[in-house]
Structure formats: structure tokens, C-alpha cells
């Protein structure tokens, strides 16, 4: 067993950031100890059961956070090996080149990053290859240049979604194949062939994958990393705090509560925090000491601030023709990402959700009272449903923040109306096209089961921004290598480092950044 006193790197968290970093360092021969507060997700039939996953929330963490008023809410977080990637839809977009610069929005400014698209581009290409992304560069009109092709061709549309794509093109728009990470081999008709791990089912979005075909951090990175003798994983290991030397410049101990209740002090040359934007900030805040009275890496007072989570709308249209699609998450639209003819500010993007089933619609029914036709049973409505995800940019406000109560509980203060005008206009764009897209014009229904039962504050899957990076220690917590300005051996590699969040899923950027920081750490260790 690895001697914990001689570990090169401790990584706290096994999701898109931490899991990917472990994989990168494992291949470079670095001794790595991964700490995961949860265990492995059980493989069971409930993995693919809508009632268990969405209605009962069987796999969500059994905890409650507080909102700005002190009221409890259940956050959409999952503590398993692989982190939230076990449940993500594996939509793996690059940020647009413009997202790295300053962008003016209706409600304010989205700030520039200290690095540009060109700095991330080679790592985006590496990330797409590692996570088996299917797509085609050049289709998305807002995407930046790519130095390499996707490793796999796009996941082909099933007939009803192909018709939707054709109808969007007839409106003068430029839909494209959504880039998605799945272990799929297709035949000429887009069907999964013999030898394909993915079976093209309707359980990709929001469900853990029973057949290990979705490109989550456990399957792609953690499990392969553990095949190396220099990598070890401790599960059910909750990090209570980080201790420093008397000068406050070096993390000397990772104080960890193990599953049996015992408390251990682990040490490494480099400590990497990757717990998710909320929990990473919370760990740094509760590690306050005499040298760091406001929390580790927080001389700037930005840790916990600038929390972002996207302005999302999950919507269900009703197709006039049946929609027997199973693998629906294959199409996206970015024509209004940066603005439109009738508005000067960014609206955001549209993409497909996983296919609704009767259980999901039944769970939504009380909130849709009066909008569902009595002559259309849930099963029939599900067979005609076409599901959309609209994503707009949230702005990094300093008072949108993570703080700790005196008892250590997490409080998330959030202005839920921050910069929502763009995504609302995006909804009106979709609403106005329904007839031309073969949908019933007056049935664009809120699909709130995907948004934590209509509670925006609970929909924390796209959390970012609480430990931002930058060149100025007065206004950022991390330098451009994601090392804390205030400490010599502390890094943060989840989406906490984002100065802004753009309007696409953040996972690929977290993955690419972990690969980038992995190169830096490996070079630093020599």
C-alpha cells in the first residue's frame, strides 16, 4: 500500500476535474491519492428508473443547504466516485472564443478570462479524445477553430429529430449535432452495432449508465488511473479541513474523516481541491486559521463569491406526429448565442434533453394542471413529447455566494433573476416556431422535474465561479495555473476557477483545464 507520507499529490474529489487530473498524473508516474467523500454508485435497476432518479431523488446527497432567507433546500449534488458526471448528460461543448473575453449582457458584464481560447484549445482537443466525444467540428456556427477532429462521428439523429433539424434549417437556422461523450459504434443507419458499449437507449440524460457507456469521470479516468500502482483511492473519505504550516504558506495536512468515523491526517507535496464549486469554497472557508482568518486562499475575499449556475429552462413541446425517439440528445442550436436581429445581447443556446417518459410527465402533472389535455393520457403525451434544454449565461455577482453558518452548514445566497431576459427571449423564439416545427403551438410546457421541481436554487448541476482564477491577487484566489495566490502547494481544478460561465455545459472546460493543470503539476514535480 502507498505510504501516505510520500505521496506527490492528494486530489480531493473524483469528478470532471479531480478524476481527469488523476488520470493525467497517473500516466506521468506521479504518486496520487484520491479522496472521495462518497462510494461507488451501486449498479442496480433503479439506475434507469425515472421514479427513483427524478421523483424520489434516490441518488442525491441526503443533505440540505440554506438559502438567503435561512430556509432549507435539497441541492442537486451526488457524492459518488465520478462526482456529478455520473448523472450528467455528457454534452461536452467548448466555450466560444468570445466567452473568454468581456461580453456585455442585458444585466451587466461577463468578465474576460486571464487566458484565451487559444490557451485552452489543445486541451479541448485532448479532452474530446479522452472522453470519446462524438461530433463534427465546423457545424456549430459559433464554435472556435479546432486543431483536431472529434475522435468519433456525430451521433446520428433518429427520424423525428432529423425532421426537426430539417425544419429548423427551413427557418434559415443552422442546427448542428450536439457533441456528446458516449462509447458508441454506429452502423450506417446510426444504430448501435455489435461491439458498441452504448445501446442508444433513452436513459443517457440525468441517469447513471448501467452498461458503463457514458463518458463519466469514473469510467474514463478514475478506473483506468487505478490500474497504475502509483494511484490509490480512498472512498467515504470526507475532508473536514486543510491545515497549514505556521507561516500559512503550505498545506501540511488534509484532515479527513473516514467511513469508520476515525480522523486521519494525510499529507502530500501538492494538494488539489476539486469538490464542486460550492463544496470547494466551503472547504477553504472552514479551513480558516490565524494566518488565513477568512479562509484559505482568501486574502482577496473572493472565495465563495461570484457563484454561477446558468439560467436554464427545461421545456417539453408536443409533436403533432409521434416521437418514438429513444436517444434524443443529438441536436443543438446556437444561432442566437451572441445576440439576434431584434436584440443586442446574448440569448444563449438550445439543445435536446433526454426523452420524456410517462413517469416524468406524471410527476410534473400537478404543476401542469389545466395545460394538459384530458383526452391525452400520460403515456400518449410522452410518445409525442419533444424535450428542449435552453441555457443562458448567469453573471458572476459578488453577492451570489457560498458562506458557512456557525454550525458549519452551507448557505447559498442567490439572486434567481440575474440576467434571465436572454433565456426568456430564447423561449419566445422557440414558442414562435412550434407550428413550423410540427408541434402544437400552444403546448410548450415547463419540464421542471429536470430543474429540481421548479426550484432554481436547487438546480446546482452547473455550479461554477466561487474560487476564480486571475492575475491580480487582490481580485482572484488562484493564479493562471489554478494555484492559490496565498499558498505554495494548493490548487483548485473544478469549475470553481471560472471567472464567467458562458452558456454551454461547463464539463468539457473543467476537463480541459484539469489536463492543462496536470501538465503544469507534472513539470513542477520534475
> Average pLDDT in the 124-142 region?
97
Residues, the chain? 526
| Predicted local distance difference test score (pLDDT) of residue 3 | 41
DSSP at 363: H
Point out the least confidently predicted range of 39-48, 197-206, 352-361, 396-405.
352-361
**pLDDT for 256-297, tens place per residue?**
999 999 999 999 999 999 999 999 999 999 999 999 999 999
Point out the least confidently predicted range of 92-96, 204-208, 236-240.
204-208
| Predicted local distance difference test score (pLDDT) of residue 365 | 66
Q: What is the pTM of this model?
A: 0.96
Spatial distance between the Cα atoms of 123 and 126, rounded to a whole number of angstroms:
5
Query: Average model confidence (pLDDT) for the chain?
Result: 93
| Residue carrying the nine cell digits 453577492 | 399
| Predicted local distance difference test score (pLDDT) of residue 319 | 95
181 contact partners, CB below 8 Å, separation of at least 6: 90, 92, 131, 132, 133, 134, 214, 215, 220
Percent of the chain scored above 70 by pLDDT?
94
Spatial distance between the Cα atoms of 280 and 283, rounded to a whole number of angstroms:
5
| Predicted local distance difference test score (pLDDT) of residue 450 | 54
**pLDDT for 299-315, tens place per residue?**
999 999 999 999 999 89
> Average pLDDT in the 409-426 region?
94
Largest CA distance in the chain: 72
Query: Could you please report the per-residue DSSP string of 150-187?
Result: -SBPPPPPPHHHHHHHHHHHHTT---EEPPEEB---B-
| Higher per-residue pLDDT: 425 or 446 | 425
Percent of the chain scored above 90 by pLDDT?
85
Burial readout 374-389 (b: 16 or more C-beta within 10 A, e: otherwise): eeeebeebbbbbbbbb
Amino acid at each position: 500500500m502507498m505510504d501516505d507520507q510520500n505521496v506527490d499529490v492528494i486530489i480531493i474529489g473524483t469528478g470532471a476535474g479531480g478524476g481527469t487530473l488523476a488520470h493525467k498524473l497517473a500516466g506521468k508516474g506521479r504518486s496520487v491519492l484520491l479522496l472521495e467523500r462518497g462510494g461507488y454508485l451501486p449498479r442496480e435497476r433503479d439506475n434507469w428508473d425515472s421514479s427513483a432518479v427524478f421523483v424520489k431523488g434516490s441518488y442525491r446527497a441526503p443533505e440540505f443547504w440554506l438559502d438567503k432567507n435561512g430556509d432549507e433546500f435539497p441541492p442537486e449534488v451526488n457524492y459518488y466516485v465520478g462526482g456529478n458526471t455520473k448523472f450528467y448528460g455528457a454534452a461536452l461543448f467548448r466555450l466560444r472564443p468570445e466567452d473568454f473575453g468581456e461580453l456585455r449582457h442585458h444585466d451587466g458584464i461577463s468578465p474576460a478570462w486571464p487566458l484565451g481560447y487559444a490557451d485552452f484549445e489543445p486541451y479541448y482537443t485532448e479532452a474530446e479524445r479522452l472522453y470519446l466525444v462524438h461530433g463534427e467540428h465546423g457545424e456549430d456556427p459559433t464554435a472556435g477553430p479546432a486543431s483536431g477532429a472529434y475522435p468519433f462521428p456525430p451521433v446520428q439523429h433518429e427520424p423525428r429529430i432529423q425532421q426537426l433539424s430539417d425544419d429548423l434549417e427551413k427557418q434559415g437556422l443552422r442546427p448542428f449535432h450536439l457533441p456528446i461523450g458516449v462509447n458508441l459504434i454506429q452502423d450506417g443507419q446510426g444504430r448501435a452495432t455489435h461491439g458498441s458499449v452504448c445501446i442508444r437507449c433513452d436513459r443517457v440524460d440525468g441517469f447513471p449508465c448501467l452498461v458503463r457507456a457514458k463518458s463519466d469521470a469514473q469510467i474514463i479516468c478514475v478506473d483506468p488511473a487505478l490500474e497504475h500502482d502509483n494511484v490509490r483511492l480512498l472512498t467515504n473519505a470526507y475532508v473536514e479541513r486543510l491545515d497549514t504550516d505556521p507561516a500559512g504558506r503550505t498545506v501540511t495536512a488534509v484532515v479527513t474523516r473516514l467511513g469508520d468515523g476515525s480522523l486521519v491526517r494525510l499529507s502530500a507535496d501538492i494538494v488539489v481541491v476539486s469538490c464542486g464549486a460550492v463544496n470547494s469554497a466551503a472547504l477553504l472557508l472552514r479551513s480558516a486559521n490565524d494566518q488565513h482568518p477568512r479562509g484559505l486562499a482568501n486574502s482577496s475575499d473572493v472565495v465563495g463569491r461570484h457563484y454561477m449556475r446558468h439560467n436554464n429552462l427545461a421545456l417539453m413541446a408536443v409533436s403533432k406526429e409521434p416521437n418514438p425517439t429513444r436517444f434524443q440528445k443529438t441536436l443543438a442550436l446556437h444561432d442566437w448565442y451572441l445576440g439576434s436581429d431584434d436584440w443586442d445581447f446574448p440569448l444563449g443556446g438550445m439543445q435536446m434533453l433526454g426523452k420524456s417518459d410517462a413517469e416524468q410527465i406524471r410527476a410534473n402533472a400537478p404543476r401542469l394542471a389545466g395545460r394538459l389535455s384530458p383526452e391525452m393520457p400520460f403515456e400518449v403525451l410522452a410518445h409525442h413529447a419533444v424535450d428542449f434544454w435552453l441555457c443562458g449565461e448567469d453573471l458572476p455577482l459578488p453577492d451570489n455566494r457560498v458562506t458557512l453558518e456557525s454550525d458549519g452548514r452551507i448557505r447559498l445566497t442567490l439572486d434567481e433573476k440575474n440576467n434571465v431576459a436572454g433565456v426568456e427571449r430564447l423561449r419566445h423564439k422557440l414558442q414562435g416556431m412550434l407550428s413550423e416545427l410540427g408541434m402544437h403551438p400552444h403546448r410548450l410546457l415547463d419540464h421542471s422535474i429536470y430543474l429540481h421541481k421548479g426550484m432554481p436554487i436547487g438546480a446546482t448541476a452547473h455550479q461554477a465561479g466561487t474560487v476564480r482564477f486571475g492575475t491580480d491577487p487582490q481580485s482572484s484566489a488562484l493564479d493562471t495555473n489554478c494555484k492559490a495566490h496565498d499558498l505554495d502547494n494548493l490548487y483548485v481544478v473544478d469549475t470553481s476557477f471560472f471567472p464567467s460561465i458562458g452558456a454551454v455545459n461547463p464539463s468539457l472546460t473543467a476537463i480541459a483545464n484539469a489536463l492543462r493543470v496536470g501538465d503544469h503539476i507534472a513539470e513542477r514535480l520534475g
